[in-house]
Amino acid sequence: MRATKRRWNPNVQKVRLYLQGKPTRAYVCTKCLKANKVQKVG
């Protein structure tokens, strides 16, 4: 048995995107970026 349990953290990136019609910076997981679940600015 391993001494410590490995944590599976999400791969988050800080990107500029539209939130409620305004461009802001937020942390978004790469799965959401690839699936076009958020609209990037630019």
pLDDT in tens, 1-42: 778 888 999 999 999 999 999 999 999 999 999 999 999 998
Which DSSP letter does residue 35 get? T
Q: Where in the chain are the domains? A: 9-42
pLDDT at res. 5: 87
Please give the pLDDT value at position 42.
Answer: 81
* Three-state DSSP state, 29: strand
Confidence at residue 1, expressed as pLDDT on a 0 to 100 scale: 75
The CATH architecture of the domain made up of 9-42 is Roll (2.30)
Report d(CA 25, CA 42) in Å as an integer.
Answer: 13
CA dihedral 3, 4, 5, 9 (to 10 degrees): -160
